[in-house]
Structure 1
Amino acid sequence: MGIEEKTTINRRAFLTGAAATGALAAASAMFGCAPAAQPSEADAAGTGAAPSIGTVDGYSSVIDWLGSKPEISDDEIVETVDTEVLVLGGGNAGIQCALAAAEGGAKVDVVEKTSEENRKVKGEDIGHCNSKFLIDQGYGPFDVGEIVEEFCIRCGGRVRPEIVRKYVANSGEAVDHMMDLVQWPDDRIKLAVTTIDPDISPCDPSQVICQVPGIALEGFTDWPMKRGGYRSWPGTAMFMGTIRHDVDKENGNGVGAFSRLDEVQQFSILRGQELGATWHFEESATVLVQDENGKVTGAITKGPDGYVKYNASKAVVLATGDYCQNADMLWGLQDELVEWAMRAGKTKEDLVGMSPNMGEGIKMACWAGGYMEASPRATNQNGSGANGPWGVCPMLWINSKGDRFMNEASVQQNFPEILRQPKGLIAAITDSNWAESVKNGAPDHGSPNFGRPEYFTELQEDMAKVELENPEGTECRTMCIAERTHKIVYGSKTLEGLLGILGYEGEALKNALATIDHYNELCHAGVDSDFGKDSECMIPIKNGPFYASTAENQRWLGVGLGTMGGLETDDAMNVVDRDGNPIEGLYAIGRCLGGTFGFSNPNPWAGKNIGSAVTLGRVCGKLLTGQEIS
């Protein structure tokens, strides 16, 4: 039952003689617990192994997402490499781990499945705090403990607080170290985008900015900013590059496609190589090597010429990414999304997301005795909804029935709240005062981004061109995070006209108008007595023209940008077995690492995914080589 409960049953009688059987049955009925299962033969033998209820031991899934451990004989090995620290995966986390370990004097080898020509890190924003980059702009220093507390709150306590602390406390140093290595220009660097001016450094203020809310530009300094019950800080380095106006709308290319983060990371790769780190491209991690005591002593990879065996005297670090493209793993591990998808008649292939990873490192760790963190496992899904070109901001939201259903300022809760609404339209409703709602959005992931003020200026220009009474709406450039994709805005001189364009009619139309009237009453009272939205965000909808953006609630979601649920580890990122004991020699970072995300991708600042990968990758490399960390 987990927690001992008080009873009036005499303990001595409860535990002795024939009374024990009856007392156990009585207690089971009293506390609502089913009788314990009889021990398996393994339990009787003292191994401590519990009976499995799923296809894969230790998991409830009925699909075999793990498969059998590959068996590779010695005569299949075409090459053997001796090293100290073996990093499997050369993404944002692996690069920084390899560099830190090399700086600590270790012999380092990095295995990367892509070719050297095609290697490129994904993303653009690094969530962090207390870097020189931020403090020089007036953002911080901030209290580490307060930020750690907020991460734990947003994750519902389903994290390892010490790993979160290591991320927050060391993130500023990690970002400063990355940026300090950039000495521009450098002929060795492959440009991320060939159309940029090669004379401009990726660390130039015109290329990298910090996301802030609109009210910060009007003098707000009372950090943290609290919206919808959650706290946020300005804490993101966004390597967005030059402002672009030639976005390919059909392919959805936003500024993310033009990110200069990879150019910054190339300096870290080069510095690691100068210190002796060796990179091996076009090799796929296949299986870990263990000795008779279970210690991980290396790994076997598969390259163009066959299998390569790596002997690692210090550690093998898993940095191979998530399992976003592995439909079996998604269907077997993403319980919440699977259930929504099943109810919507979807298949496992429908869940597949954007990242290219297949979960190789996670499976390798499970074959070696490690375990994924328990369900529900996080995905990169938050900041959803009818966000329009302004991003997720605290405008009034209504569902297909015309009902308001949540505190719209609570970015953290958007997608689970929306999923529980009737299938169909979700609409954000505003009026000529739309900019006030946009300015009052928090700097969470997906929220309005005033770090580059030109974006807001351009949105104002586009909003002024919205064609009223046009059922097709008008395209406007977005100012959400760093993206420049286009979103549709609908406009009308009247609320009735706007709602009609959106498709509300009959009872839904009457209900939507009544909902807006009630919302305006709450706004004038200055208190949201329905859902508790912050008074600053209670902006009435009364002066035309009226505007709306929409989304379609399908009552299911794929994994989006990727999965976040990773492997169980201890506080040093050492992968642990089912009893919580470290598996000697095996570590996890990046999206292979669990204990950092909770239910979804909670962000008191944008860029937690890459920020934690970069920082904890660096921290892991330091720990493996005895360097000091915060």
Structure 2
Amino acid sequence: MANRRQSIRVCTDGSDGAAHPPPNGGRKARPTPKEETMTHPHPLSRRDLFKMGTCAAAGIVGASALSSCAPQTKSSAEMAATGVAAGADPNTPSFLVAPEPITDFIDTKEFEVVVVGAGVAGMAAATSAAEAGANVGVVQKESIVISQGNMAAGVDLQQTSEAGKQALISFLTELNQHRSDRALLEAWADHSFEALAWFKAIASEGGVEVNDDEPQADRVLDINGYKVYLHANTYFGMGHGEVVKAAVPHAEAAGVQFFYNHPAVQLVSDGDTVTGVVCETDEGHVLFNATKAVILATGDYCNDEEMVRYYCPDCVDFPPYITGRTGDGHKMGVWAGGEIEPAGHTKMMHDARVCRVDAPLLLVDYQGNRILCEGPMQGYLNNYVRENVHLTGDAATGMLFTVCDSKWQEQIAEWKSIDPEIDASNCIYYYEGNTIAEAIAAMEADTEGGGYTVDAAAVQATVDRYNELCAKGSDDDFGKNPIFMRAIENPPYIIVPRDFGNSLTVILGGLMVNADNQVLKAKEHTPLQGLYAVGNCSGCFYGGVDYPMDVLGLSIGRCITSGYLAGKHAAAL
């Protein structure tokens, strides 16, 4: 039988200042060999990983106390106290070593608040600061404003009780392996609904509206017996890239000035206070003075191979989904005296093709073998393919395939009453056949859709074994709950390709900040005056191995909210 495609909606629950939704009707094309060479970090050997782990443990906190912006030179004793001696240890990552201060400028601009970066966090920061009365300039590395992702979530406190809010914060803390700064989660929970309503109105003013009747816009979680009401601004089919473009006229009307093609390269400090930022242009360096504050909103660092190896080695074998995210704000903040939160950082890796198939259906790897107890949400499945990608050096071996039969949607509807998080509503592609082999052949024949392949005989053998276990009522291989064990025996048979080899969307880890988003000084963790960090260059909001997709839209919702709050706070200085 021919392949069947459902309506396509890219579901990248993305990050500040990253890529646009994939072209070609929502499909993400495989990188060409040249593109892989440009963006794919070289794999680490096990020996390399051990070395890097030692380096991180020994120097991560102290090394980040370097400052390039203070006019004085640190003494040998001071350098030693930071964990990096003068004549720096060759094991110290280059991004932690401060460059020489830039002192020659072709021009100087004067503002009260300077925002570095124009993704959702930067746009929110600049606009809220300007609306609060500050004179605001935005410096942007690219020639346009850029962002990504489709959903921005917040907590509806009009319906959620205080106990429910606190239960949500505790739930997220647990999902983040208990490493979150609770004050940051609480700031998001307290202000996200307000911030997202404000940003939605700005986008609407610019001609971009949320999706009508989007089923994922409103969700209710039951946590510890409390109902938590979540609401998300959803922009499926356009993404937040269009939202930030639509927000520019409003920001300009509020007095914000934009400077495109002005990559920031260094902060300027007077003692322990950040007073400006240096940008590099084709003509020379431009100094942007900030009498109140600089707000860093530069996104993550997934395109800086050295930073990825140092802070999130889980990701080194996966090519980034985006380009241009090189940790600029992280580095400048460290050089000015801030500190990056401890390794390891949180990775966000979505299924690059079909979005959500969070259902306990049979799952096989690129060789056709069953490899896990099905059930983890798709944001965690990358962990099951990492070794395949590492050993082969081929992102295609990061594929997983859901295998089921014609009753799959009935089964999902039944299971959803048991676990409301079970969902496959955003399944973009699936392929059908009267046999398993026919379904796989239909998938392979769809070259426009990627032409993915898996050994049909191996998959059939796996299905046969799975059916035996279903008949027995006991999963002797992986221990799956028998409630979710259903034989695959009703044609047409279905196969769904799941691409985790090309799915690194963002790495969530950044500069340590307080609840006002002020960057904290290294070691002493008191505010570094004049410097804020928002969105994905700010840290301690997450902390787990993987981004918690249990709250869909959390990443962008947090980016907008942190920018909104930081802009207000900086303007009030």
User: TM-score, length-normalised on structure 1?
Assistant: 0.66
Which structure has more relative contact order (CA 8 Å, sep 6+)? It is 2
2:425 matched residue in structure 1 = 449
> Contact conserved, 2:210 with 2:234, CA < 8 A, in 1?
no
Same amino acid, percent of matched pairs:
20
The residue type equivalent to 2:208 in the other structure is P
Q: Is 1:128 the counterpart of 2:154 in the alignment?
A: yes
> Contact conserved, 1:407 with 1:532, CA < 8 A, in 2?
yes
Q: Is 1:238 the counterpart of 2:234 in the alignment?
A: yes
Match of 2:334 among 366, 373, 392: 366
Per-residue deviation at 1:95?
0.5
The residue type equivalent to 1:88 in the other structure is V
Q: Is 1:49 the counterpart of 2:95 in the alignment?
A: no
2:173 matched residue in structure 1 = 152
Per-residue deviation at 1:271?
2.7
1:93 matched residue in structure 2 = 121
Distance 2:465 2:114 in 1: 63
Q: Is 1:568 the counterpart of 2:547 in the alignment?
A: no
Give SS of 1:224's match.
strand
The residue type equivalent to 1:393 in the other structure is A
The residue type equivalent to 2:496 in the other structure is S
Match of 2:458 among 503, 509, 523: 503
Q: Is 1:620 the counterpart of 2:571 in the alignment?
A: no
> Contact conserved, 2:348 with 2:546, CA < 8 A, in 1?
yes
C-alpha change, 1:419 and 1:531, in structure 2 (3 Å) is farther
Per-residue deviation at 1:613?
0.8
1:395 matched residue in structure 2 = 361
Q: Aligned ranges for residues 128-527 of structure 1 at < 5 Å?
A: 128-130=154-156, 143-182=164-203, 202-203=208-209, 205-206=211-212, 209-211=214-216, 223-224=221-222, 235-240=231-236, 255=237, 258-259=238-239, 261-291=240-270, 293-338=271-316, 341=317, 351-382=319-350, 391-399=357-365, 400=367, 402-411=369-378, 413-419=380-386, 426-439=400-413, 440=415, 448-449=424-425, 469-470=437-438, 472-474=440-442, 486=449, 501=456, 503-504=458-459, 509=461, 513-522=464-473
Q: CA RMSD in A?
A: 4.4
> Contact conserved, 1:209 with 1:237, CA < 8 A, in 2?
no
Distance 2:492 2:170 in 1: 42
C-alpha change, 1:402 and 1:357, in structure 2 (3 Å) is closer
Distance 1:389 1:308 in 2: 43
The residue type equivalent to 2:349 in the other structure is Q
> Contact conserved, 1:114 with 1:282, CA < 8 A, in 2?
yes
Q: Deviations over 1:187-220 (max 9, x none)?
A: xx5xxxxxxxxxxx532644x73427xxx9xxxx
Distance 2:268 2:420 in 1: 44
> Contact conserved, 1:431 with 1:541, CA < 8 A, in 2?
yes
Give SS of 1:105's match.
coil
1:587 matched residue in structure 2 = 532
Give SS of 1:372's match.
coil
C-alpha change, 1:308 and 1:370, in structure 2 (3 Å) is same
Distance 1:465 1:233 in 2: 41
Per-residue deviation at 1:85?
1.3
What is the aligned length? Answer: 486
Distance 2:120 2:482 in 1: 37
Per-residue deviation at 1:162?
1.1
The residue type equivalent to 2:275 in the other structure is T
Distance 1:332 1:107 in 2: 38
Distance 2:80 2:515 in 1: 24
1:109 matched residue in structure 2 = 137
Distance 1:144 1:464 in 2: 44
> Contact conserved, 2:119 with 2:244, CA < 8 A, in 1?
no
Per-residue deviation at 1:616?
0.9
Distance 1:50 1:430 in 2: 56
Per-residue deviation at 1:618?
0.5
> Contact conserved, 1:395 with 1:428, CA < 8 A, in 2?
yes
> Contact conserved, 1:234 with 1:443, CA < 8 A, in 2?
no
C-alpha change, 1:181 and 1:337, in structure 2 (3 Å) is closer
Give SS of 2:106's match.
strand
> Contact conserved, 2:275 with 2:290, CA < 8 A, in 1?
yes
Per-residue deviation at 1:435?
0.8
The residue type equivalent to 1:587 in the other structure is Y
> Contact conserved, 1:355 with 1:561, CA < 8 A, in 2?
no
Distance 2:101 2:477 in 1: 63
Distance 2:457 2:496 in 1: 9
* Structure 2 gap ranges (5+): 1-57, 63-73, 392-396
Give SS of 1:587's match.
strand
Per-residue deviation at 1:301?
1.2
Distance 1:124 1:413 in 2: 20
Per-residue deviation at 1:144?
2.0
* Structure 1 gap ranges (5+): 1-35, 190-200, 241-254, 342-349, 479-484, 491-498
Give SS of 1:615's match.
helix
* Bigger Rg over Cα: 1
Per-residue deviation at 1:317?
0.6
Per-residue deviation at 1:97?
0.6
Per-residue deviation at 1:577?
2.5
Distance 1:53 1:336 in 2: 29
C-alpha change, 1:419 and 1:203, in structure 2 (3 Å) is same
C-alpha change, 1:47 and 1:363, in structure 2 (3 Å) is closer
C-alpha change, 1:564 and 1:98, in structure 2 (3 Å) is same
1:248 matched residue in structure 2 = none
C-alpha change, 1:558 and 1:202, in structure 2 (3 Å) is closer
Give SS of 1:223's match.
strand
Distance 1:304 1:613 in 2: 31
> Contact conserved, 2:467 with 2:486, CA < 8 A, in 1?
no
The residue type equivalent to 1:408 in the other structure is G
Per-residue deviation at 1:232?
9.3
> Contact conserved, 1:129 with 1:171, CA < 8 A, in 2?
yes
Distance 2:439 2:244 in 1: 46
C-alpha change, 1:239 and 1:156, in structure 2 (3 Å) is same
Q: Deviations over 1:298-343 (max 9, x none)?
A: 11112343222122121111011222222233233322334xx4xx
Distance 1:503 1:607 in 2: 37
